[in-house]
Chain A
Amino acid sequence: MKAQWISIPVDDQARALKFYTDRLGFIPKVDVPVGDEFRWLTVVSPEEPNGVEVVLEPKGHPAADAYTKALAADGIPINQFAVEDVQAEYDRLSKLGVTFTQEPTTMGPVTTAVLDDTVGNLIQLIHQEEGEPEL
Chain B
Amino acid sequence: MAVADIFKALADPTRRTILDELVDRDDQTLFEICSRLSNKHDLGMSRQAVSQHLEVLESAGLIRSRREGRYKFHRIDPVPLRSMLHRWMKPQTTAAEHTTETEEKT
Which A residues contact B (CB, under 8 angstroms)? 69, 72-77, 101-103, 105, 107-110, 112, 114, 122
B36 x A105 contact (CB < 8 A): yes
Q: Does B40 contact A (CB under 8 A)?
A: yes
Task: List the B side residues contacting A103 at CB < 8 Å.
Answer: 25
CA distance A109 to B32 in the complex (A): 15
**Residues of B25-57 contacting chain A, CB below 8 A:** 25, 28-32, 35-36, 39-40, 47
Give how many B residues have a beta carbon under 8 Å from the other chain's beta carbons: 15
CA distance A69 to B36 in the complex (A): 23
CA distance A25 to B31 in the complex (A): 25
CB distance from A87 to the nearest CB of B (A): 14
**Residues of B42-78 contacting chain A, CB below 8 A:** 47, 70-73
CA distance A11 to B41 in the complex (A): 36
B39 x A101 contact (CB < 8 A): no
Nearest to A109 among chain B residues (CB) is B39
The 9 residue pairs across chains A and B that have the minimum distance between CB atoms: A75-B29, A107-B39, A75-B31, A74-B30, A108-B39, A76-B31, A72-B70, A102-B32, A107-B40
Assuming the A-B contacts A72-B70, A101-B71, are A77 and B31 also in contact, with contact meaning beta carbons closer than 8 angstroms in the complex? yes
Can you name 26 A-B pairs with beta carbons within 8 Å?
A69-B70, A72-B70, A72-B71, A74-B30, A74-B31, A74-B47, A74-B72, A75-B30, A75-B32, A75-B71, A75-B73, A76-B29, A77-B31, A101-B29, A101-B32, A101-B73, A102-B29, A105-B25, A105-B32, A105-B36, A107-B35, A107-B40, A108-B40, A112-B35, A114-B29, A122-B31
